Structure 1
Amino acid sequence: MTFLYLFLVTTVHTVAQENKPVFEALEEAFQQKQEQVLLPYLSGSFAVAGNTGEGAQYRLKQILTNYSAVSVKVLANRKVKKGMLYDVQFTQKDGKIDKSQALLDSDGKLMYITLFDWLYGLRRESESRLLAKIPFENYNGSIILTLKINTLQRPIRLLFDTGADGMAVSQHLADEIGLKVTRENNASVVGGNKQIQVSDGNTVYLDTLTLTGMGIAIFPEMGRDHAEGIIGNTLLRKYITHIDYDNNVMSLYSFGEHSYSGEGHTVAVTMPSGVMLLPGQLDIVESKSYSGNFVFDTGASYDLICFRPFVRSNKLLVSGFKPEVQAATISMGISSPTFMGKSYQFAVSPLVPMKGLLVTLMGGSSNNESWNPGADGSIGIRLLSRYNMTINVAENEVFFQPNKLYPFPQDFVLGGFHMGWDNKGQLVVLGTTGMPSQEGTLKVGDVIHSIAEHSSQSMQKKPAVIDQFCADSKAGNKIQIKLLNNTVISL
C-alpha cells in the first residue's frame, strides 16, 4: 500500500476571544494578521480547498499573512441546504476588490470562503459541469490511469491512490521523463518516514485534460499493481471525481452545485494532512467496538488495516482477535509485521456495516513504535470497490452507491491465501503470505472454479460454505481447489 504525506503541516493553537460577528472578526483578523481572532468563529468542519483541521488553520494563517485585505463587506445572503450563504466583498490595500462567497452553518460558524479556496487552487462554479470521462483499467479494484508527463511521448500507467497527497514515480522513470529535482521533503509511509526528492512545475496530460504546475515525488523504487507510479489527491483537489466500477469509467466535474444520481449515502470526510479520513467503527468481536478515523485509500490492496498506534492503544491483538495469517506490509522499503483475520463487522456511518470483514492489525517493530501516522488505519480498495463513489472535497464528502460487487461474499483466507471476487464476478487469488510451502501451488491472479466441490457461483449464493471449508482447512484437512483452467490443487 502507499500512504504518503508529501507536505508538512503546522499546528495552530486556538486562543479564546470575545464574541464578535463573524465578518467583523474576519476583517479584524486581516488587519492584525492574526488567525487567533477568527478561530472561535470557525465551524468544526471549516475547510480551505478541502483541507480541514490543522491543514485548514495552516492555510488560513498563510492567507491572513499574505493577502492584503483591509475591509470585508457583506453584500447579500440566502439560505442554502448547509446553512446561510453570504456574498462578500474584500477590498485590498491597493483598492482592488475581490468578490467571494462565505458559507456559515446553522450555528453561524464559518465553513468556507470561496476566495480562500481559489487562493489554493480550488475554483467553484455556480453549477458543476462534466469535463472528462476517462476509462480506467481495473485490477481487483485498483484503478490504473494512463497519461503522459512533460515531453515524454510514451503513455505512463499510474495507480490512482487517494492514500497519497500527490504524484510519485521511481528514480528510473524520473530519469526517463527528465524530471528536475527542485526540493527535498519528508514523506510519511506506512510504518515510518522517508526523506524524498520532489520535482515541481511539471505538466500532466490526462485524456483531454492538461494539468500544469504538478509536483512529482521521486522514490528509489516505485510501481506495483500493474502501474509505474501513483497519482494521488492531485485530481481530487481539482475536480469532483466520480468512480464507476460497473463500467470502469472515471468522470471528472468542475466544482459547484452537484447532484448525486442513484440511491446511496453521503459520508462526511476530513482532510487535515493531505489525505481524506473517514470515521469508522471496528468491532473485532461482537460488542467490542473501537472508533477511529481511517484513510480513504484507493492505493491499498486490502479491506482494512489498523495502524500500530491504534492497535497498541486499544490492545486489539489481545481483544479476542483470531489471526489467520501472519505476514508483513512493506511500504517504500519499510516493513512492519501484520496479522490478518476476520472481524465481527466494520461500519462507516451511515453505510450498512460490513459483516465478517477481513482486517489487518499492525504489530510492533523498531520502525513503527514511534510512528505518528495522523490516522488510525486505512480503508483499502477491496472494501471501497464495492461502491461507485463520487468524491467532492469542496464539500468534504463522498457519496457511496453500492455496485454490482457489493452483494458478493467478503474476502477470506484459505491456507494462507487471500481470496475474493473481482469486478467480473470471478473468484481470484488476491494475495499470499509467500511461505515457502506455498511455492508451486496457487499464485496471485489465479481464477478459481470451485473449492471443495463448491463452485464460485454457489459460494456467492450460500457464503456459509466458505466458513465450513475454511474451518476444515484450519483443522488440518486437505481442501481441493479447481482452477478455471481445470488445474486441481490441494491445500
Structure 2
Amino acid sequence: MRLNKPVFLILLFAGHFIYSGAKAQNTPVITVPFILNFDHIIITLSLNGSEPLNFLFDSGAGGTLITNEAADSLGFKSSVNRKNVGVSGSHKVGVIKGVKLAVEDNKLGNITLLSTDMPLEEMDDGRKVHGVIGYPILSRYIVEIDYIKNLLKLYNRNSYTYTGNGQTLPINIVSNLPITGATVVMYNDMAFEGDFLVDTGARSYMIISAPSVVHYDMADNIGDYYSVRAKIGSSQKRAKIRHGKLKSLQFAGNNFEDVPVALSSDSKGVLSMPDIDGIIGNRLLRRYKVIFDYQHGLIHLEPNDQIGDSYETNLTGFNISFKKGKPFIKNVVDRSPADKAGLRNGDEVISINGNLVENISSEEVRQAFLANGDKIEIVIKRNRKFKYTEFILKALI
C-alpha cells in the first residue's frame, strides 16, 4: 500500500523548479508559542474576537472541532448535524459556519467549526482544551513545528523556500490528512513499505491500522506485548490496542531500532481504512523540526537534539490523566506492576515516594515513573479512602 511513486517524482521535480527560481523569504508571518502537554501541542487562538481558547494542534484533524460547552459559552449555534470520521470512528457533530479565526492577534480568515459532545482531555494543570485544529492552518501556511523551542511558525506559502538540510518527503493530502511513506521491519525480518498518517495529535511513536496488522500478520511478530482498551483520537472513543516493538522503523533518513508500536484492532475510523497503514505519532515527530508544505505536497524533517533519546515505554501498567489539575490512574493493564499492587482505574494519586503531587509539577509526576527497576511508593484515594501501596517499575515490553 504505497503512494504512487511517479507522482512523488513529479512533485519533487516540480518543487525543485518552483524553489530554484525564487528568492528565499523565510521570515514567519506569525510565530505561535505552544505548550507540549504530555506530547500534545496546545496553542491558544481566538474565535470571533473571544478570549484565548486552548486548542490541540493536530495534523490528524481534517476539520476544526470545538466542544459543545465552549460553543455554547461563545453563543454559537449549529445549523445542521452530520457525522465526522475521526481516528477511531465517526460521531455526530454540529456545523457552525463563518467563524472568524485569529492567532496571536493575527486574523486568519473564516472557518467552519464542528461542535462535539465528545470530551477532550484536560491539560495537566487543569485547564480545559476547548477544541482541535489542524487543516485550516496547515492548508493556508507553510507550518514549522520547533519542538525544542516550543514554537509554531507560519510562513507565506507563496514566498517560502526551504533551505534546510533535513530530509524532504512527499506527502499526499487525503481527506485533508497528510500521508507519507515509511518502512516497517518486524522481528521475523519481514518488512513492508507503507503509507502513514503524519499525526501530531497522536501520543504515540507508531500505530498500525487494523487491516495492515492482519495483512502482514503482525500480532505475533512484535516481541513481548500487552493489550489495553484506550481512548484514541479526537473522538475519544475506546479501541483495543496491542503494544509491542518493531525491530526497526525507517523514516526520514533515520533507522529507529526496537521502536515501540501499537497495533489497532479497530473496525471504524482511519485505523480501519485499507489504504492507510497506520499513524506516525508525536513521540517520533518531536525528534525533528517538522515543516509541513501542503501546497507543494512536501514535508521537511530536520533531526533535533532529541533524535537519539531513549524510548519511553510503560513501566507501571497504567496511564495518568488530569482532571481539574489532579492526576488520576487509567488504563490499568492486567498482571502489570500496578495491577498486582492493587491500583485501579479512577484512583486519584495523592503522593509519590513521599511527595504530595500538589507540590510537584506534572513533569515531575511523569519523570517519577521512567526509571526501570525503581521502587515506587504511592498513596491513592478511592471512594474517599486512602490506600498506600508500592511496586517496582518494570518494562511491559
Normalised by the length of structure 1, the TM-score is 0.62
Deviation per residue, 1:3-45 (Å, 9 max, x gap): xxxxxxxxxxxxxxxxxxxxxxxxxxxxxxxxxxxxxxxx725
Q: Which residue is 2:293 aligned to?
A: 392
Q: How does 1:238-317 map to 2 (within 5 A)?
A: 238-285=140-187, 287-317=189-219
Moved more, 230-239 or 257-266: 257-266
Query: Does 2:367 match 1:448?
Result: yes
Which AA in structure 1 matches 2:36? N
Q: Which residue is 2:113 aligned to?
A: 216
Q: Which residue is 1:434 aligned to?
A: 332
SS in 1 for 2:219: helix
Which AA in structure 2 matches 1:168? L
Counterpart CA distance in 1 for 2:206 and 2:271 is 21
Counterpart CA distance in 1 for 2:271 and 2:173 is 23
Which AA in structure 1 matches 2:245? K
Which of the residues 41, 44, 50 maps onto 1:143? 41
Deviation, 1:164, is: 0.5
Conserved? CA contact 1:150–1:204, under 8 Å: yes
The count of aligned residue pairs is 343
Counterpart CA distance in 1 for 2:330 and 2:241 is 13
Conserved? CA contact 1:140–1:382, under 8 Å: no
Q: Which residue is 1:175 aligned to?
A: 72
Conserved? CA contact 1:168–1:231, under 8 Å: yes
Q: How does 1:8-407 map to 2 (within 5 A)?
A: 44-45=7-8, 82-83=16-17, 127=25, 129-152=27-50, 154-224=51-121, 226=123, 227-285=129-187, 287-319=189-221, 321-331=223-233, 332=235, 334-348=237-251, 350-363=252-265, 371-372=272-273, 374-407=275-308
Conserved? CA contact 2:227–2:240, under 8 Å: no
Conserved? CA contact 2:210–2:271, under 8 Å: no
Relative to 1, partners in 2 of residues 1:369 and 1:292: Cα closer, same or farther, differing over 3 Å?
Answer: closer
Deviation, 1:335, is: 2.2
Conserved? CA contact 1:346–1:353, under 8 Å: yes
Counterpart CA distance in 2 for 1:148 and 1:319 is 47
Counterpart CA distance in 1 for 2:181 and 2:256 is 14
SS in 2 for 1:256: coil
Relative to 1, partners in 2 of residues 1:276 and 1:181: Cα closer, same or farther, differing over 3 Å?
Answer: same
Counterpart CA distance in 1 for 2:310 and 2:266 is 31
* Higher RCO, 1 vs 2 (CA within 8 Å, ≥6 residues apart): 2
Deviation per residue, 1:367-417 (Å, 9 max, x gap): 579943752211111111111111111121111112222221012222324
Deviation per residue, 1:418-448 (Å, 9 max, x gap): 79xxxxxxxxx99963356334677985143
Normalised by the length of structure 2, the TM-score is 0.75
Which AA in structure 2 matches 1:346? L
Deviation, 1:246, is: 1.3
Greater C-alpha Rg? 1
SS in 2 for 1:210: strand
Over the residues paired in the alignment, what is the CA RMSD in angstroms? Answer: 3.5
Unmatched 5+ residue regions in structure 1?
A: 1-42, 51-78, 86-102, 104-123, 420-428, 457-465, 470-478
Relative to 1, partners in 2 of residues 1:198 and 1:345: Cα closer, same or farther, differing over 3 Å?
Answer: same
SS in 2 for 1:291: strand
Which of the residues 317, 340, 348 maps onto 1:416? 317
Q: Percent identity?
A: 21
Counterpart CA distance in 1 for 2:308 and 2:248 is 15
Counterpart CA distance in 1 for 2:376 and 2:183 is 35
Counterpart CA distance in 1 for 2:319 and 2:257 is 17
